[in-house]
């Protein structure tokens, strides 16, 4: 699929497929083309090349209203003069399929029981997003498109809705394409992730595969808090790295083991480095350390168990298992 705005290429030969009932996430930074791709699938925006095929039918030039695709936006787009029940049932009324029982059932499923007569301005952000989602789901679309629907919500509500959306999507077996720039959100909700950059797909796969085996520097730097070493930095900072041929490598911060200088560190199946603790921060159950190596600062994460093991300014020995080093293309 191709899409241009003036002389700017927004989608550059994008090609991907989704299985029935799958939850797929388009993950990328703002401006990478993920929302444009979603709008093209919905029929809101046209394309300059390629085809959109659903169940064997070419819908590329079909009007959006005939595509049987539901879409939920970040802005909710609720009708302010309609009640919750009227908003949810709006699509059914337009198609002359009014069904109060269906509205009631989906409201209960979405945790909106007792709110039928309320108006959008009487609801919280999370409740409004539930209404918007229910309005799309009640039409039983072939495909559900979600364009950063949780980004405006606070962290607690967001976590709750992530789980709820995934549960309902699986129960209804609706093929779903989700757009987000939040890596953790993508990991939690997705069956598969497509990492996008500058109108192209950099890598796709299951969340665990994307996280543990990033394909290149962009994916490694975007999908998590990897420590990325180019060949020169590897040679300067990691003892035993000659065995890896001084490739560009990525190392997850939670995979690095920390020891005091008077402790014995085995180097079997591992590299070694020496550094100094610059900054130590506690983030819930995780302690994050910034470690100054010879020519590079890296992140190391350890489980917080009620006490902090290493002080700022302390010299530490690091053990880096070979299995934790991902060679980058």
- Which sign does the torsion angle of CA 6, 9, 75, 87 carry? positive
Tokens of residue 319, six digits: 């053990």
Question: pLDDT (tens digit, 9 = 90+) per residue, 273-323?
Answer: 999 999 999 988 899 999 999 999 999 999 987 776 899 999 999 999 988
Question: pLDDT (tens digit, 9 = 90+) per residue, 154-195?
Answer: 888 888 889 988 988 998 899 999 999 999 999 999 999 999
pLDDT score at 284: 83
Domains of the chain: 3-221 (3.40.50.300), 228-327 (2.40.50.140)
pLDDT score at 97: 87
pLDDT band at 243 (very low <50, low <70, confident <90, very high): low
pLDDT score at 157: 85
Report strand pairing: 69-72 vs 249-251: unpaired
- pLDDT greater than 60 at residue 131: yes
pLDDT score at 98: 82
**Range 54-69 average pLDDT:** 93
What is the CA angle 142-21-126, rounded to 5? 80
- pLDDT greater than 80 at residue 267: no
Mean pLDDT, all residues of the chain: 91
Phi, psi of 44, deg, nearest 5: -75, -40
User: What is each CA distance from 86 to 110, 128, 143, 277, in whole angstroms?
Assistant: 15, 13, 23, 58
Percent of the chain having pLDDT more than 90? 67
């Amino acid at each position: 699929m191709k899409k241009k705005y003036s002389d700017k290429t927004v989608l550059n030969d994008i090609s991907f497929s989704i299985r029935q009932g799958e939850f797929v996430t388009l993950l990328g930074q703002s401006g990478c083309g993920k929302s444009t791709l979603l709008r093209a699938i919905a029929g809101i925006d046209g394309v300059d090349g390629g085809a959109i095929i659903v169940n064997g039918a070419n819908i590329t030039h079909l009007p959006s209203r005939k595509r049987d695709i539901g879409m939920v936006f970040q802005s909710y787009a609720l009708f302010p003069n309609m009640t919750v029940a009227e908003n949810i049932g709006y699509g059914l009324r337009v198609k002359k399929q009014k069904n109060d029982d269906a509205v009631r059932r989906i409201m209960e499923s979405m945790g909106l029981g007792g709110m039928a007569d309320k108006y959008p301005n009487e609801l919280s952000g999370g409740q409004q997003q539930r209404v918007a989602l229910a309005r799309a789901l009640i039409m039983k679309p072939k495909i559900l498109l979600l364009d950063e629907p949780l980004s405006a919500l606070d962290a607690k509500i967001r976590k709750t809705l992530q789980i709820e959306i995934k549960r309902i999507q699986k129960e209804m077996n609706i093929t779903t394409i989700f757009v987000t720039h939040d890596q953790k959100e993508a990991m939690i909700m997705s069956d598969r992730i497509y990492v996008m950059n500058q109108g192209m797909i950099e890598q796709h796969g299951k969340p665990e595969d994307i996280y543990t085996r990033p394909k290149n520097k962009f994916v490694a730097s975007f999908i998590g808090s990897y420590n990325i070493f180019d060949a020169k930095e590897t040679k300067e900072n990691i003892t035993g790295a000659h065995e890896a041929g001084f490739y560009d490598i990525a190392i997850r911060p939670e995979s690095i083991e920390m020891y005091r200088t008077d402790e014995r560190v085995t180097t079997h199946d591992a590299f070694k480095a020496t550094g100094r603790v610059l900054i130590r921060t506690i983030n819930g159950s995780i302690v994050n350390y910034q470690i100054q190596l010879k020519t590079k600062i890296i992140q190391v994460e350890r489980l917080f168990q009620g006490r902090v093991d290493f002080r700022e300014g302390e010299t530490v020995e690091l053990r880096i298992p070979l299995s934790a080093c991902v060679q980058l293309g």
